[in-house]
A = this chain, B = another copy of it.
Amino acid sequence: MSALYRQICEQILQQISSGERKVGDRLAPESEFASEMGVSRSTIRMAFNELESIGVLRRRKRAGTEIIATKPQPKFSMSTSSINELLSIGHDTEFQLESITTVHSSDVSSLRDQHSETDFWLEVSGSRTMKNESTPFGINQVYVPARFAGIEPLLESTDFSVFQAIEQAFNVSVCRVTQLTSIVQCSEKDAHTMGLKVGTSVLQIDATLYVQEDTLMELSVARFDPSRFNLYTDVAIK
C-alpha cells in the first residue's frame, strides 16, 4: 500500500478522468478537505504539492485550489550540460576569438528583425575547432545588446563564452533559449575558414538567449561544416 497522500493524489486524478471533477472546479479549502477525508491537513498539503508540481492544480491564497489540467503535464527537460551542447560548446572544442567590434543594427541582417532593441550591438566573432585539429568546424557570431556591454575583458582573458561572461558580469542567468536550425549555402569567407567549397550547404543555428523577463541576452549565429558537426538534442521527463 502506497503512502496515504499518494492515494489521495490518485483518487483526485481519477475523479478528474472519470468526470466527477472537471477543469476549472475549485476544491474545498485544505482544512475542510482534510476533515472530509479524515486525514490531517499536512497530508492533504503533500498531496496537493504533488498535484501542483505536475501541473494539475493551481493554488492561490484566498482564491483556493483549482483544477487546471486533466492529466499530469509532462515536462521534458534538458540538464545544464546540454545547454552548452545546445550552443555547440563541446568540452573538447576550443573557441578562437577573432574580433570584438561594435555594430549598428542596420549593418547586420540578423539584427534587422530585432525590433525594439538598441541600435548598437557588440559583435563577438570567432570560430570553433576540435582540440587536436587545426581547421575550424564552425564559425560563430554573437551579438550582445548595448545593455550588456563591457564584457570584453572577460572574453579576452578567460575561457568564458559570451553568455557565461554576461552571467558573471551582470549576475543574471539564462532562463530561456530558442534555436532555429536551417541549411544555408556557405559564403566565401566561411568556406575559407572551414576549408569548404563556396556554396556548400552548411548547418546554421540561430540561437537567442534570454534572461529574466524575456530580456534578450545574446543572439548567436553559428554555421557548421555538416560533415564534422551534427546537432544532438536529448530531453527527458522531469
The digit string for A97-120, where 1 denotes a CB below 8 A from any CB of B, is 000000000000000000000000
Q: Which residue of B lies closest to A229 (CB)?
A: B182
Q: How far is the CB of A160 from chain B (nearest CB, A)?
A: 16
The docked-state distance in angstroms from the alpha carbon of A179 to that of B73 is 21
Choose among B73, B79, B175, B177 the residue that contacts A79 (Cβ–Cβ < 8 A).
Answer: B73
Q: How far is the CB of A81 from chain B (nearest CB, A)?
A: 10
Q: Are A82 and B76 neighbours in the complex by a CB distance under 8 Å?
A: yes
Q: Per DSSP, are chain A's interface residues mostly helix, strand or loop, or mixed?
A: strand
Q: How far is the CB of A1 from chain B (nearest CB, A)?
A: 18
- Asked if A75 is an interface residue, CB under 8 A from chain B, the answer is yes
- Asked if A171 is an interface residue, CB under 8 A from chain B, the answer is no
Q: Are A233 and B82 neighbours in the complex by a CB distance under 8 Å?
A: no
Q: Are B181 and A183 neighbours in the complex by a CB distance under 8 Å?
A: no
Q: Which residue of B lies closest to A42 (CB)?
A: B42
Q: Are B76 and A77 neighbours in the complex by a CB distance under 8 Å?
A: yes
Hey, which chain B residues are within 8 Å of A174, CB to CB? 74, 237
Q: For chain A residues 172-193, which have a beta carbon within 8 Å of chain B?
A: 173-183
The docked-state distance in angstroms from the alpha carbon of A228 to that of B102 is 34
Q: Are A83 and B76 neighbours in the complex by a CB distance under 8 Å?
A: yes
Q: Are B182 and A226 neighbours in the complex by a CB distance under 8 Å?
A: yes
Q: Which residue of B lies closest to A77 (CB)?
A: B77
Hey, which chain B residues are within 8 Å of A77, CB to CB? 75-78, 235
The docked-state distance in angstroms from the alpha carbon of A175 to that of B232 is 17
- Asked if A230 is an interface residue, CB under 8 A from chain B, the answer is yes
- Asked if A63 is an interface residue, CB under 8 A from chain B, the answer is no
- Asked if A93 is an interface residue, CB under 8 A from chain B, the answer is no
- Asked if A80 is an interface residue, CB under 8 A from chain B, the answer is yes
Q: For chain A residues 28-80, which have a beta carbon within 8 Å of chain B?
A: 42, 73-80
A-B pairs with lowest CB-CB distance, top 9: A201-B201, A77-B77, A183-B226, A181-B231, A176-B236, A179-B233, A175-B237, A75-B77, A182-B230
Residues of A within 8 A of B (CB): 42, 73-80, 82-83, 86, 173-183, 201-203, 226, 230-237
30 contacting pairs across A/B (C-beta < 8 A): A42-B42, A73-B79, A74-B83, A74-B174, A75-B78, A76-B77, A76-B80, A76-B82, A86-B235, A173-B237, A174-B237, A175-B236, A176-B235, A176-B237, A177-B233, A177-B236, A178-B234, A178-B235, A179-B231, A179-B234, A180-B230, A180-B232, A181-B181, A181-B232, A182-B203, A182-B231, A183-B202, A183-B203, A201-B201, A235-B235
